[in-house]
Each structure stands twice: as structure tokens, then as C-alpha cells.
A and B are shown apart, each in its own frame.
Chain A
């Protein structure tokens, strides 16, 4: 029983990170119909920015803020300089471009920061809370991870629901041409969308790095998990991405605990993805809107 609870708790915490990462993918997919395979590399790069600052003596929160800001800038630059040129073109071209960015950014970080494992600090304790003499898998740091993701989601909902810029971003995403005719600066909104998505992706990268090791390829699995979570939820649906992330986090946690250990976790993600794509290609939360624009 204890093991089941622990597995569930760590699955939830992990699922929250997957959810954040999937959300970042969905934000970009919704507006530009591109799956950003470079998301993981970009997040990794900003985590290394944070690491460098922490090693230079900054405190965690300042480094976190700086990393998120650099994520924002990186996302905007990537969209503006590279993605803008393949938007609306053949979908294969965009896929290949994001894959190219994925490799290039990862290699660039490896050249600058080296390929070795470096430990990344956690802002809160990594020892589980004790309830009735039992130490459970819920650590202060995991509480922080869950809270940080929830806060981010709340902020995003508020942005898209209640602000003018949020409305303009949605209009630009769902009806580019109409939005332009109505005076919305669509190009700017797409850049902003990529920048915001990069911030959310960076947050996921920073959260999963906390109390663990980072190296240039440490996000490789997370791209797959984030993608699986996003597809699980339907790629178009932010809520779906969150639910998909949590479901995947739990599923992988159970697989790891009860069926064969961590070496098959990636394989389990593959199986889940294939099953979802074959049984329900639109995802669990497929929206019924037939897309015209």
C-alpha cells in the first residue's frame, strides 16, 4: 500500500512536469501547426543558463527568473529568425527545421558547457514528509513543482481568458487571415506565442532538473513524454495536455514500479503513444471543431 501511494505521488509530480511541457507544445501547435521538437533543447539551454548563474553565486530564485527570461527571448528569436520562414509551408519542412534546431542547440550547449553530468540544486528539501512514522514520497520540492505548474497554468488561463493580448493571440492562432483583417498584428502574436511556450517549456526543464543531474541530452526523454502527453490530450487542447501529462506521469510511474523498472519506461511511452494514435488519433479530448482557416 505504501509503495502504491508513493508511486502515485511521484507519478503525479512527474506528470505535472510532463503536463507543463505538453502545454508548451500545444501552445505552439495551436498557433502555428508546428510541433516544436526543439522545445526540449531550448529548455535544456535555459536550465544551463540558470546553472551557470547559480554557480556564479546567484540564488535559486534569481537564477530561475533569469532562465525564464532567457527562455522568452530564445523562443521569440527562434520564431522570428527561423520558424517564420517555414510557417505555412510543407509540414515536413517545419518538422525537419525543428529537429535541426534540436540537434544544433544541444550540440552548442555541449560545446560551451561540456557534456558531463552536473548536479542542479533544488530550492526545497528532497526528504519526504513523515506521516505517522512513515516517510512518504511527497517531498517539499515535489510540492513546489506541483504548485509552480499549477500557478503557471492559472496565469496562462488568465492571460488567454481575460486580457486583450490573450484574445488577440487566440484570434491570431485560430483565424490568421481574419485576425489580420481586423487589425491584429498576427506576426507579433505568433512570436509572443513561441516566447511564452518557451517560458513554460523552460519551467518544465528547470523543475525536472531540481535535485537531479543535468547534461545536454537530459531533456531527450522529456520531449517524447511531452509529445505523448500532448497527443494523449489531442494536441489542440490545453486542458487535454494537462490531463494527458498527469495520466502519462502516473502510467509511467506504475510501469517503472511494477513492470520491469526504469529501462522500459521509454518503451512504455512508445506503446501508449501508438495505442492512442491507432485507437483515438484525435486524442482523448479531441475538439469537434472542423478546422477551416
Chain B
């Protein structure tokens, strides 16, 4: 029983995008005979980032431009989903407004890049993050006193209401048509580097995919450390037992706002990457379905797990293609087949909550821990 409880708690401790760290929170005895991992969390996360970076390069260089652009899409979903999973999984707050927050990041990026002498891309991204974080602070301040269905409803109103601004300020934001985004060109050194490294030509798509991958790795590295820090522990305390946390002197409101700000910052960065990848910021891209898709990603992967958010995002990117193909094969026309993906999201949300509330990663880890507990018991009794 106590092992199961431990298992329940470890769901909330996501690995740093690296399955190897899943083995870390184990008792010292079970570590024997394993590949030694760095003791410091920071080092371990750095190692994971390096491994993932290598994997990203291999992946991007070994696939065609179409896959490259799909992977670019994956990066912005994953960045935003990472932020959402921190909010929902660790701090227990739901948000249906992350699509709208991504819109803030995307429009900010679009506006900054439309200047005659655009600022360097990292600065533009930073601006998008700051602006979205500010919006997130406002939303978070309002949301910090809400829970469950109230919060869901309020953020739903945000998701439905905010795109109205783009219509209202048609002159600056481009109305229904949206804002064209001038994606920055790949710098010279990038083309040279790719050429010397792999001999492949460096396309614009590939450059954007790399930008997305770098943004993703930086985001997840920071989030992973944050989750393991005192801040992450406090968030979990606020989620699991707000009364006890409050008695322990934790100011619930501020911590919830902080979670929202961090989460919104990620959504802003996700929106910024989306803007340059899609080269357009339009209201139709930030519908309620986007917010719900992000929710699907984190529920599927397992609330609070960055690895889960990544897997969930990957499903979001690759699943529509599969379902659309299936739909077309079954005789549906294009627009009908395109609706199969949201249909599957919906069914998956329902099914996941009923059958596997811990998500993919959480369920596998629960199984794994239960197995280990069983083996440990067998060992104890066998002695």
C-alpha cells in the first residue's frame, strides 16, 4: 500500500525529458548495478538536454522537409503543453485559455518582426514571453481564487473572448485574415554549419525547426529544474493540500499566480515559435480546439510530466495525419476527415479520465513501481 502511495506521488515528479531519470527517485539499494547517473539534478538534466539535442539533430537531418515542418509544429505544441502541464499537473489549476495565451505570443512576435529593422530573434522571443507572462499574471491573479469548474469556465471565456481583440483592432492585428509574420531568414553560419556537418542543404524550414527545437530544449531544461526545486515542491503542496500549505505559511494566491505566469510564459514562447513556423497569426489558429488539444496532450501524457507533454504533443502532430488518411480511405471528404482528429481528442480525453487518469507516462510508471514493489516484497520474504 505504501508503495502505491509513493507511486502516486512520483507521478508528479516528471523526468527531464529523459527516461533514464525515471529511475532516479528510487531507494538507494535499487540503484546498485545501474549506470551511475550524476548525483546533481542540474547535471542530470544537462546531460538529458545534451542527449536530446543530439537526438533532435539526428532526427532533423535524417528526415525530409515535410517531416521537418511537422517537427517544428511539434516543438511549439510541446513548449505550450509543457507550460500547461506544470500548471495543471503540479499546481492543480486547469486552463482552457492557453490557446489564447499562445495567440498573445504569436501576435507580439508578428508585430515585432514587422518592424523595418526587426530586432534579433531571441529578443523578439523574449518580448513575446514577457508580454504573455504579463497577460498571464493578470489572468492568474483573477484565477488564483478559482478552482475546478469555475476556473475552467473563466479560462474558457478567455479562449472564446480574446480572439475578438484581433477583429476589433483590425488595423494593427489584421482582423479575420490575421497578421502575416515575416519569418527571419536563416543566418549564413547556419547554412555553413549544416553543410559541413551533414552535407545536407539548409532549408528555411529546417532553420525554423532548429529554432523551435532549441526553444523547446531550453524551456524543458528550465521547467525540469523548476519542478525539482523548492518552487516545484511548494506548487505540489498547494495542489495536494491547500489548507495544510496555508497553515505552513505558504501564501496560496501568490504561488498560484506564479504558476500561471510561468505557464503563460511557455505559452507565449510556443505562440512565438508558431508565428514564425506558420508565418501567420490569425484568430482561426487560436480557437478553443487548440486549447483543448493542448489539454488532450497533457492528459494523454500524464498530468505534470514533461515527458508526457512531449509525447502528447507528438500525438497531436502525427495523429491528425493518420486519422485523416483513415477517414479518406473510409470515403469521407477532406473537411469531414479533418474532423476525425478532434473527434479522437475528445474520445481520448473521456477515455483517459475514465480508464487511465494517470496518462501514458503515469500509468507505465505506476505499473513499473508496482512491479518493483512486488519484487522487493518477494526478496524480503525470500530472505
Contact = CB atoms under 8 A, between A and B. Distances in A.
Best-buried of A97, A107, A108 by chain B (most CB within 10 Å)? A107
B350 A104 contact: yes
Given A99-B96, A99-B295, A100-B350, A267 B161 contact: yes
Interface string B328-368: 00001001100111110111111011100100000000000
Contacts of A108: 339, 343
A144 interface: no
A115 B161 contact: no
B153 A269 contact: no
Given A91-B147, A277-B142, A100 B353 contact: yes
Contacts of B150: 231, 277, 281
A35 B168 contact: no
B299 interface: yes
Contacts of B348: 100
A7 interface: no
Interface residues of A toward B: which range? 35 or more
A59 interface: no
Contacts of A161: none
B158 interface: yes
B311 to A, nearest CB: 18
Contact of B353 (A97, A267, A268): A97
B347 A104 contact: yes
B148 A95 contact: yes
B349 A97 contact: yes
A263 B164 contact: yes
B92 interface: yes
Contacts of A106: 342, 346
Interface in A26-63: 29, 34-35, 37
Given A263-B168, A274-B142, A224 B346 contact: no
A108 B344 CA distance: 10
20 contacts: A29-B149, A82-B350, A96-B352, A96-B353, A97-B350, A97-B354, A99-B346, A103-B342, A103-B345, A104-B343, A104-B349, A107-B346, A108-B339, A221-B160, A231-B153, A264-B165, A264-B168, A266-B160, A266-B164, A281-B146
Interface of A: 29, 34-35, 37, 82, 85-86, 90-97, 99-108, 110-111, 114-115, 217, 220-221, 223-224, 227-228, 231, 260-261, 263-270, 273-274, 277-278, 281
Given A107-B346, A267-B164, 18 more contacts: A37-B153, A86-B354, A93-B357, A100-B348, A100-B353, A104-B342, A104-B347, A107-B343, A110-B339, A227-B153, A231-B153, A263-B167, A264-B164, A266-B157, A266-B160, A268-B161, A269-B157, A274-B157
